Amino acid sequence: MSKQPIGIFDSGVGGTSIWYEVHKLLPYENTVYLADSKHAPYGTKTPSEIIRLSLKNTELLVQKNCKLIIVACNTATTNAIQTLRKTYNIPIVGIEPALKPAALQTKTKSIGVLATKGTLSSNLFHKTTDLYANNIRVIEQIGEGIVGLIEAGKLHSETMKTLLKSYLNPMLDANIDCLVLGCTHYTYLIPILVKLLPQHIKIIDAGEAVAKQTKAVLTHHKLINTTNDYPSITFYTNANTKELKALINPSNTFKVTYLDF
Ligand code: DGL
């Protein structure tokens, strides 16, 4: 059982930021990654569409014999994880904007959250905000257009910089000292954000926490792969393989395969 792969999915290439953290912490685990780039972005879709797409991805990973699923997408987690957990009898780990650590760390009592429309309008996000950030000013900003640019390989474009500045300025005016990245695509923005933001602003990303949670859940279910063999690592995309390769594959180590799903 433990040799079965961990299945990871996202609306596109962004969830590879989670895959990296998981692979770093659990280097012997076999993994299967699905980039549903054909249907990206999820963030502008209705909750029922997001649920339908999340079920489709999970079903495919279950067919691929995965022992645990990581929903490497805040939008899919906040809209669909309850349905996925009700539908499938295997452990499912998700990701949502890291409001709790931000609320604990802020000194100005003002934090920024950059996420998709689908995440910011979800019931789960509202619940988490009420629970952890009740007495804190939360500046919510929809990252309209960011996922599309990253999917199109335009991460380092001038358009991206201009867009980010327009999203960050109201947060800076509100004196935030923590910026929560509420979308797995946004992890790839960190080098750009570091240049755009004053030094004292902490950028908070939940990738490492998801990897730790995955390890804890695998351990709890006695599902850790105890062999020390080089793992099987498979990336599938239902769009052009080029963008996914560019993000994960600078040295051509991992194979990216086109799959229609
Ligand atoms: N990576 C997804 C997330 O974490 C992007 C959602 C989208 O496709 O809009 O929310």
SS3 string, 127-145, reads HHHHHHCCCCEEEEEECCC
The answer on 126 and 41 residing in a single domain is no
Spatial distance between the Cα atoms of 252 and 249, rounded to a whole number of angstroms: 5
Q: Is the CB of 73 under 6 A from ligand 1?
A: yes
Residues above pLDDT 70, as percent of the chain: 98
**pLDDT tops 70 at residue 250:** no
- Structural domain contains residue 52: yes
Judgement on whether residues 192 and 220 belong to the same structural domain of the protein: no
pLDDT in tens, 154-189: 999 999 999 999 999 999 999 999 999 999 999 999
> Looking at 95, 183, 189, 218, which residue is catalytic?
183
Task: Check pocket membership of 120 for ligand 1, CB cut-off 6 A.
Answer: no
> Residue 6: pLDDT above 60?
yes
Token look-up 């063999």 returns: 229
Active-site residue among 35, 61, 70, 73?
Answer: 73
Q: What number is the average pLDDT over the span 2-27?
A: 97
In a domain, 242, yes or no: yes
At 236 the pLDDT is: 97
Average pLDDT over the chain, rounded to whole?
96
Last residue of some domain: 165, 188, 206?
206
Query: How many A from CA of 115 to the centre of ligand 1?
Result: 8
Cβ of 147 less than 6 Å from ligand 1: yes
For residue 253, pLDDT over 90 is answered with: no
pLDDT of residue 238: 97
Q: Are residues 91 and 215 both part of a single domain?
A: yes
Cis peptide before 41 (omega within 30 of 0): yes
- What's the 15 CA to ligand 1 centre distance in angstroms? 8
Domain that holds residue 151: 99-206
Q: Has residue 97 got a pLDDT over 80?
A: yes
The answer, yes or no, to whether residue 252 has pLDDT greater than 90, is no
Q: How many domains does the chain have?
A: 2
Flag whether the pTM goes above 0.85.
yes
Strands 31-35 and 68-71: what pairing? unpaired
Stretch (H or E) spanning 34: strand 31-35
Residue 9, CB-side half-sphere exposure with 13 Å CA sphere: 33
Ligand 1 centroid to Cα of residue 87, in Å, is 22
Q: What's the sign of the alpha-carbon dihedral 174, 178, 184, 190?
A: positive
* Buried-exposed string 7-27: b where 16+ CB fall within 10 A, e elsewhere: bbbbbbbbbbbbbbbbbeebe
Task: Answer yes or no: is pLDDT of 1 > 60.
Answer: no
Tell whether 219 and 123 lie within a shared domain.
Answer: no
- pLDDT(13) > 80: yes
What single DSSP character describes residue 221?
T
Q: What is the mean pLDDT of residues 187-205?
A: 98
40 lines ligand 1 (CB under 6 A): yes
Q: Are residues 104 and 199 in the same domain?
A: yes
In the residue annotation, 178 being an active-site residue is answered as no
Q: Is the CB of 185 under 6 A from ligand 1?
A: yes
- Over residues 48-62, the mean pLDDT reads 98
- The whole-number pLDDT of residue 251 equals 65
pLDDT of residue 142: 98
Q: Across residues 200-227, what is the average pLDDT?
A: 97
Q: Can you say how many angstroms the Cα of residue 139 is from the centroid of all Cα atoms in its chain?
A: 20
Q: Over the stretch 122-159, which tens digit does the pLDDT of each residue have?
A: 999 999 999 999 999 999 999 999 999 999 999 999 99
Q: Report residue 66's pLDDT band, with 50, 70 and 90 as the boundaries.
A: very high
Tokens of 169: 């300025």
The domain that contains 151 carries what CATH number? Answer: 3.40.50.1860
